[in-house]
Amino acid sequence: MDNSSDVKTPCNGNLLKELESVGDPVRITAFQQAIGSLNYLAQHPRPDISYTVNALSRHTAHPTNKHWVALKHLLHYLKGSSGLCLHYQRTISKEHDVIGWADPNYVND
């Protein structure tokens, strides 16, 4: 992944549902482990990938090659956006406004 290209979105919108699994137990386990690690990132410092991780996690029992392609796409996105994360810092101000925004509408469900 060190020499991989960066992408602008965490998902390409084509998480197709197939019935044929990759079948290889080693690859299935590797897919499940990757999704587990990404799920942690999606819950804490990287909520921008939560939709994609959720969509991929629906297929952890029987991932297909297209799911692997989507997983690799997400990894390319993370590589290109490694500077993005939630950062909380202490403030002296008495105001406690939390401001955030997100636009997940670029992904088709």
| 47 is a domain residue | yes
| 26 token code pair | 């080693």
Residues 9, 106: Cα–Cα separation, whole Å: 9
| Domain tally, the chain | 1
| 64 is a domain residue | yes
| 44 is a domain residue | yes
| 40 is a domain residue | yes
| 97 is a domain residue | no
Q: How confident is the model at residue 14 (pLDDT cuts 50, 70, 90)?
A: low
Report pLDDT digits (tens) over 28-45. 999 999 999 999 999 888
Greater confidence (84 vs 66) lies with 66
| 72 is a domain residue | yes
- pTM, to two decimals: 0.65
Q: How confident is the model at residue 105 (pLDDT cuts 50, 70, 90)?
A: low
| 71 is a domain residue | yes
Look at residue 75 and tell me whether its pLDDT is greater than 90. Answer: yes
| 100 is a domain residue | no
At 89 the pLDDT is 76
Q: How confident is the model at residue 6 (pLDDT cuts 50, 70, 90)?
A: confident
Quote the domain boundaries for residue 54: 25-84
Tell me the average pLDDT across 2-23.
Answer: 65
